[in-house]
Amino acid sequence: MSEVLFNPFDPAFRANPYPFYERLRREEPVHVSPFGFTVLTRYEDVARTLRGQEFARDIDAHVTPREDDPRRARRERIRQRQESGQAAKTILNLDPPDHTRLRRLVSLAFTPRAIERLRPRVQQLVDDALDVAAERGSMELVEELAFPVPFQVISDLLDLPVENSAQVREWSQILTASLEPTADDAAFDASEVAGAAMGAYVSEVIAERRRNLGDDLLSALIEAEEEGDRLSEAELRSFVILLYVAGHETTVNLIGNGMHALLRHPDQLRRWADDPSMDVNAVDELLRYDGPVQETVRVPTVDVRYGDVEVKKGTLVMTVLGAANHDPEVFDDPDTLQLDRPSASRHLAFAAGVHYCLGASLAKLEAGVAITSLIRRFPEVHLDGEPGWRDRLTIRGVDHLPLRMR
Ligand code: HEM
């Protein structure tokens, strides 16, 4: 019966996956899906899979290919480009020791101190957007705040022009569409084309920056060196693309989904507005309650067991972060938004283990400043029409949130 419960093709599931996760966790927490992967919904199983050394992230290298895999030729083409050095896997798709090497190099340029230095700039961008809203008495949250602030910040960090924002946003949306479990051949074709176009754009920017190094993250990445080791040209390009995509396909949804949750819980909104001591925990609770990244994947490199169920090595395992974050074993009354929830920071919205989100502190800083500034300046903020949701599952978010404020 529960086979239908993880059906990304079902519009009701995509619109609100939480009731489906709940039933799945109760009825078949290790669910062998007819779509060819195994789905985990219990917190403990998800956390163990993300942290365990017996699980790989590099799907192409470790998943046992199906005979009828329609993506075989595409995978082979991409593999050849990677082997010839024309392309590189992103850090997200690497396993140790390659992952360890790359993560060390990029972390050098991505320290919490560097991120904290951005606070005044984030505040200024948010205040400017709120000034416009104050004059008008209304705002469309996504277009006027949730998207432009993270986009401007990642562009500032890398010192990249924002004039191309519409084009970069379009490429990013095409690239992330291929992460959806419903992605078909057309989505993968489009993603290859967008990836190539974005790669060419980023290569030009890198070449220009090599001639004019500055005090920005891109220059730091170009110069990043440890024990004679550096990022190759293809690694650098992949990483900049990942930062761009992560920088504005995820944080925008934390701000959007977070405000959406608060507007549905006005008592919580008012409490938070009056109490800055809640700032850190409240952002964690928003990440737990309706996080922007709903699931990711791993592959066991040996046969593993979850309770009674054995999962064979080479099986694609989907770790549903959104389900783990609503597991009543860890979070009491999980479907209630509780901004002072003591266990909120245990959420897995940024995953866990070696791939734990590199941009977590930046995302929290941006969302914290955006939401607290908005609700403190306009405690009387209301929905002004129907919110719209992107029809996506992996990256879940509102794409339209009209607000009215006094
Ligand atoms: C609320 C916003 C965000 C969420 C929910 C989020 C979520 C995640 C998750 C779940 C992963 C791990 C995926 C996996 O293990 O398979 C990840 C990795 C990553 N994220 Fe984020 N992210 C956010 C914002 C950002 C931002 C703003 C940046 C950078 C500007 C960023 C950069 C990265 C990078 C580089 C990785 C790969 C790390 C690695 O593989 O070692 N993220 N993120």
Distance CA 53, CA 362 (A): 27
Residue 242 Cα, ligand 1 centroid: separation in angstroms? 9
Cis preceding linkage at 8, omega within 30: no
> pLDDT digit string (tens) for 146-181?
999 999 999 888 888 888 888 988 998 898 888 888
Report how far ligand 1's centroid is from the alpha carbon of 246 (Å).
6
Q: What ranges in 299-359 are assigned the alpha helix state H? A: 321-324
Distance from C-alpha of 122 to C-alpha of 116, rounded to nearest angstrom: 10
Q: Would you say residue 3 has pLDDT above 60?
A: no
Substitution candidate for ligand 1 out of 95, 156, 250, 287 with most atoms within 8 A of CB: 250
**In contact, 346 and 330? CB cutoff 8 Å:** yes
Closest residue by CA, ligand 1 atom 6: 350
Q: Structurally, what CATH architecture does the domain formed by 2-141+252-405 represent?
A: Orthogonal Bundle (1.10)
Nearest residue to 245 via CA among 191, 168, 193: 168
Q: Are 101 and 226 in contact (CB under 8 A)?
A: no
Which residue, by CA, sits nearest to atom 23 of ligand 1?
250
Nearest CA to 380 out of 403, 350, 399 is that of 403
Average pLDDT across the chain, whole number? 91
Rounded Cα gap, residues 297 and 393, in angstroms: 14
Range with the poorest average pLDDT among 32-41, 158-167, 392-401: 158-167
How confident is the model over 315-324, as pLDDT tens digits? 999 999 999 9
Give the pLDDT score at 364. Answer: 95
Residue 68 has pLDDT above 70, yes or no: no
- Sequence-separated (6 or more) residues with CB below 8 Å from residue 294: 17, 320, 321, 322, 393, 394, 395, 396
Smallest CA-to-CA distance from 255 within 399, 48, 67 is with 399
- Which amino acid belongs to residue 379? P
What count of residues does the chain have? 406
Cβ of 91 closer than 6 Å to ligand 1, yes or no, is yes
- C-beta of 221 in contact with ligand 1 (< 6 A): no
Mutate to test the pocket of ligand 1, among 89, 99, 357 (most ligand atoms within 8 A of CB): 357
Q: Is the CB of 243 under 6 A from ligand 1?
A: yes
Residue whose C-alpha is closest to residue 21's, from 254, 260, 326, 288: 326
Task: Retrieve residue 324's tokens.
Answer: 């783990």
- Tell me the whole-structure pTM to 2 decimals: 0.94
